[in-house]
Amino acid sequence: MSATIAPSTLDVSKILSRRVQSVDASGIRKVFDLAAHLKDPINLSIGQPDFPVPDILKQAAIKAIEENRNGYTPTQGCPELLRAIWSRLGSEVGWTNDPAHGLSTIATSGTSGALVLGMMAVLDPGDEAIVPDPYFVMYPQLGALTGGKMVLCDTYPDFRMTADKIEKLITPRTKAVLVNSPGNPTSVVLNSKELQDIVDLCRAKGILLISDEIYDEFTFSESRENGHFPTPARFTRDCLLIRGFGKTYGCTGWRLGYVAGPHDIVQSIAKLQQYTYVCAPSMAQYAAAHAFEVDMRPWVDRFEKRRDTVLAAFDGVAQVAKPGGAFYAFVEVPPALGMTASQFVEKAIERSVLVIPGKVFSTRDTHFRLSFAAKEETLARGLDVLRGIMLGK
């Protein structure tokens, strides 16, 4: 006979930390829950590419598993991947694994893992980091996770995080500035002049610049300069560069990113990784060592055409900052409609179209995020509905 389990008397509210209680559930997840009853919705909400993982990466992952390369790798990452990363950084920004340059790199469990460990390595309770508004949903929560304070830099209406806007927010507690270009949710790409100004400001103030470049490969033709993606790494080595593989190669579930930057900071991140993530997923590392052999430009060009379709749909109807990369449009709900973005999104969901209200990414609720990482026919159907709501149809 099994023992009778007594009813729970545990007061969980007294057990949970203030840290976890201060973190709200993702607003994106809330939209998914709200739309759970929909049958075959037009999903323009998800920030995940709709193309398959390239075969060369699939086969490399399978090969690693079959060859029993499933154990821990070194905390920094497997040698094959690190060599590939240094080769790419050398050709793109002139960063090399030369001790004289004082640089280091580490493979991380996604760019999210890189952001958490990077902020943990830099911030003490009460320290400040400046982040853009609108922001990737994780950015404000980095304060709760580290004890630091995330100071929001208002980038409306053009969504360009410039040195002038940043400088006004710097205090004696400021330790870092976090730039995201191409940005999520806006897809705005900062140009080299803007990045150079931010580099100069951070250098003058003795502040660490962190560049979240998860969408580095997803930069459209007009945003590339001499064929290159604009990055502050071309102007300084005093920068923590964060990049990943999930968005570029369609393997978001593999959870693989990397950090490169000043040796002592990266080694501090490695020390933290030893006691948290241990190492990034091994089979993903062995596969991603071949990632830079793949030309993703045809897919990026296809996404650029989707971007143009989105801009054409809202032309003369709503304001949209032109996406220079990534695969989002941050669309202003026309003020004449007299509704918040959340109310607009509810109307869209009633018509089986999923988009995300701007308040998930911002202190304002004036815009919504649309993802064009969807098949062209799906995108066209969704855009027709959204435009129709704006026109009162």
Q: Domain ranges in the chain? A: 15-52+296-390, 71-293
**d(C-alpha 117, C-alpha 268), whole Å:** 9
| Non-local CB neighbours of 23 within 8 Å, separated by 6+ positions | 141, 144, 145
Partner residues linked to 331 by β-bridges: 320, 368
- Please check the confidence at residue 132 and state whether its pLDDT lies above 60: yes
Q: How confident is the model at residue 40 (pLDDT cuts 50, 70, 90)?
A: confident
More confident residue, 26 or 159: 159
pLDDT value at residue 90: 96
Class of domain 15-52+296-390: alpha beta
Tell whether the model's pLDDT for residue 5 goes beyond 90. no
pLDDT at 337 over 80: yes
Q: Which pLDDT belongs to residue 34?
A: 65
Q: What does the pLDDT read at residue 28?
A: 67
Q: How confident is the model over 18-46, as a mean pLDDT?
A: 76
129 token code pair: 């980091």
97-118: per-residue pLDDT in tens? 988 889 999 999 999 999 999 9
SS (H, E, C) the chain: CCCCCCCCCCCHHHHCCHHHHCCCCCHHHHHHHHCCCCCCCEECCCCCCCCCCCHHHHHHHHHHHHCCCCCCCCCCCCHHHHHHHHHHHHHHHCCCCCHHHCEEEEEECHHHHHHHHHHHHHCCCCCEEEEEECCCCHHHHHHHHHCCEEEEEECCCCCCCCHHHHHCCCCCCEEEEEEECCCCCCCCCCCHHHHHHHHHHHHHHCCEEEEECCCCCCECHHHCECCECCCHHHCCCCEEEEEECHHHHCCHHHCCEEEEEEHHHHHHHHHHHHCCCCCCCHHHHHHHCCHHHCCCHHHHHHHHHHHHHHHHHHCCCCCECCCCECCEEEEECCHHHCCCHHHHHHHHHHCCEECEEHHHCCCCCCEEEEECCCCHHHHHHHHHHHHHHHCCC
CATH 3.40.640.10 matches 71-293: yes
* Average pLDDT over every residue of 283-311: 97
**How much is the pLDDT for 36?**
67
Tell me what pLDDT residue 227 has: 82
